[in-house]
């Protein structure tokens, strides 16, 4: 999608930007539904990043998430960490939002292929 829509002409070594690049590619479609899906996707990216890449501590009522700051050869940073809290319900809500977004995307692709 990213390469096809011309957002990039080749895969990028800056892999951490892939979420934003996908949103940009979807936004580039001339389709109001795609634009809305891209907005929804962008609104979930920070939570997704924290859930996938953070270290989770705790259980039951709440969790503490520790996320290490990004440092790469091109832009070295001093070691740093960010902490946040979340409930199990909040984490499950993010997962549910991604499931809904995936269903919308799947339906849109099927419609454009003439399968619906």
User: Measuring CA to CA, which residue among 82, 93, 2 is closest to residue 43?
Assistant: 93
User: Measuring CA to CA, which residue among 49, 114, 115 is closest to residue 86?
Assistant: 49
Query: Which residue, chain included where needed, has tokens 């109001």?
Result: 32
Question: Is position 21 within any domain?
Answer: yes
Question: Is position 41 within any domain?
Answer: yes
Question: Is position 26 within any domain?
Answer: yes
Question: Is position 98 within any domain?
Answer: yes
Averaged pLDDT score across all residues of the chain: 83
10-44 confidence digits (pLDDT tens)? 555 555 567 888 888 888 888 899 999 999 999 99
Question: Is position 77 within any domain?
Answer: no
Residue 93 pLDDT grade (very low, low, confident, very high; cuts 50, 70, 90): very high
Burial of 91 per CB tally in 10 Å (0-12, 13-18, 19+): middle
Q: How many domains does the chain have?
A: 1
- On whether the CB atoms of residues 105 and 37 are closer than 8 A, the answer is yes
Domain region containing 23: 15-53+88-112
Judged by DSSP in three states, 84 sits in strand
Question: Is position 35 within any domain?
Answer: yes
Question: Is position 60 within any domain?
Answer: no
């Amino acid at each position: 999608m990213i390469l096809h829509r011309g957002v990039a002409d080749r895969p990028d070594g800056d892999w951490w930007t892939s979420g934003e690049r996908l949103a940009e590619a979807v936004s580039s479609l001339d389709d109001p539904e795609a634009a809305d899906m891209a907005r929804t996707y962008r609104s979930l990216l920070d939570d997704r990043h924290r859930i996938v890449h953070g270290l989770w501590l705790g259980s039951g009522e709440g969790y503490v998430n520790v996320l290490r700051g990004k440092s790469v050869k091109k832009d070295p940073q001093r070691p740093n960490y960010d902490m946040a809290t979340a409930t199990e319900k909040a984490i499950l809500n993010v997962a549910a939002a991604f499931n809904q977004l995936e269903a919308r995307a799947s339906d849109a692709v099927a419609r454009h292929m003439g399968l619906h």
